[in-house]
Amino acid sequence: MAEKIKIATKRGASCVGCDIALVNLSENLLELLKIADIVFAPTLIDVKYKDLKAMPDKSITIGLYHGAVRNSENEEFAHIMREKCQILIAYGACAHMGGIPGLANVASKGSIFNTVYRETFSTENPENIRPRTEWLDKRGHKLTLPEFFDDVKTLDDVVDVDYYVPACPPTYDMNMQILNMVKDFVEGKAPLPPKGTVIAGEKILCDECDRKKPEKVRIDRIRFITDIEPDPEKCFLEQGILCLGPVTRSGCGVPCIKANMPCRGCTGPTALVMDQGGSMLSAISSVLGTPDKESQLTEKETEKLMSQIKDPLGYFYRFSLPKSFLKRVVRKKVGVLVRAAPYGMASAGEGFRAIIGITGMGMETNVILVDDGVFIAKAKQNPSGIGRQKLEDAYESLPDFGAKLYIHKESARLRGISEQETVKGEWIDTSKLKELINSMDMVVTFT
């Protein structure tokens, strides 16, 4: 018997449904174990991260990474999986297209943290404490947390990927395709498919759906699955119910449609569709109207019908926002120039409170300490003698709120402050300062 292949799985930002989907191989899991050893699967077996790190590079035959890349730990292990695995598969909708976690790209890190740690009804956090990547306890022990990224990324945004298995979660049939692909390759019966292959169908889902479809679909109003009981024989779109079948890849076996639920689009677009959400919006626009009206609707009529869609982004980009042309919802870039020294006047403190408010509105916030404002960044200050709180810690924590901190190099050196004496922040020269200011949609100054 040929030497067994080695398989590893690792999850990123995931609900763990993909791990359950693997277990769903049922008795065929035993067939897999005849030809393969599962050497790393934290959700399924007792292993430690150090075990994976210790394995020789390329010693694992196939790696299944599921989940989006939401934080620095997700990214670190995506790179480790790439190093250790000969073949790396983006497994499931989140690794493939961003999935449900990718909808977080409608908000900034700052606005998410404000909601979770400040604004919810049940939150009691008077000191406005936020997670930090590093913290020292009273005994000097350093505790760490992964960095929470501003953008949700897909697996191939951070590492090279060999194959993709879409869906939320991948179906039994898709898993069997992987199993048979591996078996045939190990047994020398067939080569592996070309790199970049999506292990699913090539056609749209409508071609896999056996519901009755009229020659021409016309929608006079948008209906929702919660409002009516759909006819199980008729096309959902013909009934006015949003279904992403026309822009979604086949290969899942249409389990949702068989359960009388419209397609959500979890297998992503076909190779011919550039932007799943945009293509669906175009498809909906083309079928809007009444069955007896052949001519195009006016712009006002179209707008009225489209306004019935309560959550267009959630409907059309539910699984694919990070891989769409949008990638994230556009937000304003705001520059905050702090020119005032930290003590003696209220400007620097007011500036910090304004920064927290700006990040909370989901805006990209860039804080620049310039002129006397660079004194804020000087480490190990002790203003207790004048009855004031240290501002250096507050400004150093800005990245935890989703803001970026910059320190103007020339201003600091003119005031005898070196980089080694300051809190963490990016030092920039005058040229970079001008470039930053020119790139902002809005600039607020505290003097």
DSSP symbol at 132 = -
Helix (H, G, I), strand (E, B) or coil at 339: coil
- Model confidence pLDDT, tens digit, residues 181-210: 887 887 889 999 999 999 999 999 999 999
CA distances in angstroms from 258 to 19, 220, 230, 255, listed in the order given: 24, 25, 12, 5
The reported pLDDT for the residue numbered 361 is 59
Q: Is the pTM of this model over 0.85?
A: no
Provide the H-helix boundaries in 125-233.
Answer: 155-158, 172-186
Whether pLDDT at 295 is above 50: no
Q: What is the mean pLDDT of residues 252-278?
A: 91
Provide the H-helix boundaries in 40-171.
Answer: 49-54, 72-84, 93-97, 109-114, 155-158
Q: How many CB atoms lie within 10 A of CB 417?
A: 18
Provide the H-helix boundaries in 116-247.
Answer: 155-158, 172-186
Q: Report the C-alpha gap between 114 and 322 in whole angstroms.
A: 22
CATH architecture of 5-98+154-186: 3-Layer(aba) Sandwich (3.40)
The reported pLDDT for the residue numbered 49 is 93
Tell me where in the chain the CATH 3.40.1260.10 domain(s) lie.
333-446
Q: Contact 350/336 with Cβ under 8 angstroms? A: no
- Kindly give, in sequence order, each residue whose CB lies less than 8 Å from that of residue 50, ignoring residues fewer than 6 positions away: none
Comparing CA positions, the residue from 44, 40, 10, 154 lying closest to residue 93 is: 154
Whether pLDDT at 114 is above 60: yes
Q: How many CB atoms lie within 10 A of CB 128?
A: 13
Q: How confident is the model at residue 161 (pLDDT cuts 50, 70, 90)?
A: very high
Q: What is the mean pLDDT of residues 24-46?
A: 84
Tell me where in the chain the CATH 3.40.50.700 domain(s) lie.
5-98+154-186
- Model confidence pLDDT, tens digit, residues 326-357: 777 656 788 889 998 887 776 777 777 677 66
Return the CATH superfamily for domain 333-446. Answer: DsrEFH-like (3.40.1260.10)
Q: Contact 97/154 with Cβ under 8 angstroms? A: yes
Higher pLDDT, 76 or 390: 76
Q: Residue 348 is inside which H or E element, if any?
A: helix 347-360
Q: Report the C-alpha gap between 39 and 9 in whole angstroms.
A: 9
Tokens 């979660």, located at residue: 169
Q: Report the C-alpha gap between 222 and 227 in whole angstroms.
A: 10
